[in-house]
Amino acid sequence: MRKTSARLADGREIVYYDESDHGDRAHVDPRPLPARPAGSEIRLDPLTREPVVVAAHRQDRTHLPPDDRCPLCPSTPERHTEIPAPSYDVVAFENLFPALAGDRGRCEVLCFSDEHDTSLARLGPRRIRTVVDAWADRSAVLSALPGIEQVYCFENRGPEIGVSLHHPHGQVYALPFVTPRTRDVLASARAHREETGGDLFEDVLAAERAGPRVVLENGHWTAFVPEAARWPVEVHLYPRRPVADLPDLGDAERDAFAELYADLLARLDRLFDLPLPYIAAWHQAPLHDAEARSLSRLRLEVFSVRRAPDRLKYLAGTESGMGVFVNDVAPETTARLLRKAGR
């Protein structure tokens, strides 16, 4: 993989990840862009002690433009986009409308392909492997920025999830705090270690591998529907070897993930015979807490709001108001259907 870094017209960084040595990356961004927005405000909820990001400048961000106005497609002589090059494999750049910026963190967009109408599921293992390398590289680079406590890589797919751009892409957030979800899970891992002397994630993985909810696995990864799945479609992917974050993955583990994830994404789209809207969320360890890193385990959690071909799950009052989820689909049923969706 060849990595090339450049700058957009307003000074934002753009990084190309190419699968070959072909491709000119010296194209200049000629757009007369406005000044970059000021940083967001981070407020603390006094009741929960959880951070809330206030980013008022995002109210007017681009939302589902027509295909011929997509800002993530390559530039042409007639139209200049966020990517100055006429083609690319994978590219990362600082978000034009960041939720976090400056000394409040950093937000990047990671485009999976220059093809507007494709998806990560259709791109196959080789491109997924390139994306994994890009995720790992961005995680390492952003982890070194001052004030960053955690790096979060994720993909939102489908208008039902709330995506603002159809082009296949994900995002990488460099956070100046440890997320509430991470803190809650670390508390459980700490309590499990104190009560049993064991590793929470190792024990969960062992229990799931022995049960009925494994969807598929290989020598390095296991994909399973968790016993207490909150969403009608929810799959967790654990590496067999306990690692803290994406940069820790070796070549064999990255190759194995790409093969398994390509298979899983294809099954998800076959589940209801239509493209499945989903969120794919990488959970990485906090950066500067040795105990937290020893308690953590890298994992990918993929979940969808679709519960039937013509039905979506909307958060009910108990879920939105109290955080108590009610799942209308048994996790064992989802696992069985995903196993049947293999080819």
Q: Catalytic: which of 167, 169, 192, 236?
A: 169
Helices (H), 92-179: 120-143
Cα separation, 44 vs 47, whole angstroms: 9
Helix H or strand E segment including 16: strand 13-18
Q: Give the gyration radius of the chain's Cα atoms.
A: 20
CA 134 – CA 18 distance, rounded (Å): 10
CA–CA gap between residue 215 and residue 185 (Å, rounded): 23
Amino acid at the residue 297: R
Backbone angles phi, psi at 121, to 5 degrees: -60, -35
Residue 290: half-sphere exposure toward Cβ, Cα within 13 Å: 0
Instruction: Give catalytic status of residue 116 as yes or no.
Output: no
Dist. CA 281–CA 328, nearest whole Å: 22
Whole-angstrom Cα distance, residue 15 to residue 13? Answer: 7
Residue 215 contacts residue 341 (beta carbons within 8 Å)? no
C-alpha distances in angstroms, 12 versus 35, 81, 96, 197, 329? 11, 13, 8, 47, 44
- Roughly what angle, to the nearest 10 degrees, separates helices 251-271 and 331-340? 100
Sole residue written with tokens 């961004």: 29
Which active-site residues does the annotation give?
169
